[in-house]
Amino acid sequence: MSKFRLKVISVPIIIFLIIIGSSMINSNATATFVTDIYLFIAKYFGAFIQITCLIFLVGIVYLAFSKTGRIKFGGKDAKAELSTWAYWTIALCAGIGTGIMFWGPIEPLLFTYQVPQGVDLEPGSASAIQFAMAKSFTHWAFTPYALYTLCGIAIAYAVYNMKMPNTVSSGMTLFYGEKFLKSKWKDIVDIIALIAICSGLAGGFGNGLLQLGSGVEMLFGIPSGPVVWILLAICITVIYTISSVSGLQKGIKFLSDKNTWIFIIFMLIVVIAGPTRYIIDLTTQGFVHYVNNIFESAVFLSPGNTDMWPEWWDTFYLADWLSFSPLIGLFLARISYGRTIREFILINLIAPGMFAVLWFGTFGGFSLNLQLTGAFDMMNYINTAGFDGVMLKVAEFLPLGNIIQPLIILTVMLSYVTMADSMTSSISVMSLKDSNVKEAPISIKVFWGTLMGALAVIFVTAGGIEGVKTLLAIFGLPVLIVMIMLFAGIFKRLVFDENYSFEEIASKGDNQMQSYSKGTIPSRTEDIQKEFEG
In a domain, 524, yes or no: no
Its sign, for the CA torsion 484, 345, 328, 51, is positive
- Residue 510's pLDDT is 41
pLDDT tens for 349-385 read 999 999 999 999 999 999 999 999 999 999 999 999 8
In a domain, 171, yes or no: yes
In a domain, 520, yes or no: no
Q: Tell me, letter by letter, the H, E, C secondary structure of 401-431.
A: HHHHHHHHHHHHHHHHHHHHHHHHHHHHHHC
HSE-CB for 35 with a 13 A CA cutoff: 13
In a domain, 366, yes or no: yes
Spatial distance between the Cα atoms of 118 and 124, rounded to a whole number of angstroms = 16
Spatial distance between the Cα atoms of 404 and 392, rounded to a whole number of angstroms = 8
Per the structure, how many domains does the chain have?
1
In a domain, 506, yes or no: no
Angle 226-227-229 from CA coordinates, rounded to 5°: 60
In a domain, 530, yes or no: no
In a domain, 439, yes or no: yes
Residue 348 DSSP code: I
Q: Considering the entire predicted model, what is its pTM?
A: 0.89
Helix, strand or coil for residue 432?
strand
**Domain residue limits at 179:** 6-500
* CB proximity list for 182: less than 8 A, separation 6 or greater: none
Q: Residues in the chain with pLDDT < 70?
A: 1-2, 97, 244, 247-249, 435, 438, 462-469, 507-534
CATH code assigned at 139: 1.20.1740
In a domain, 508, yes or no: no
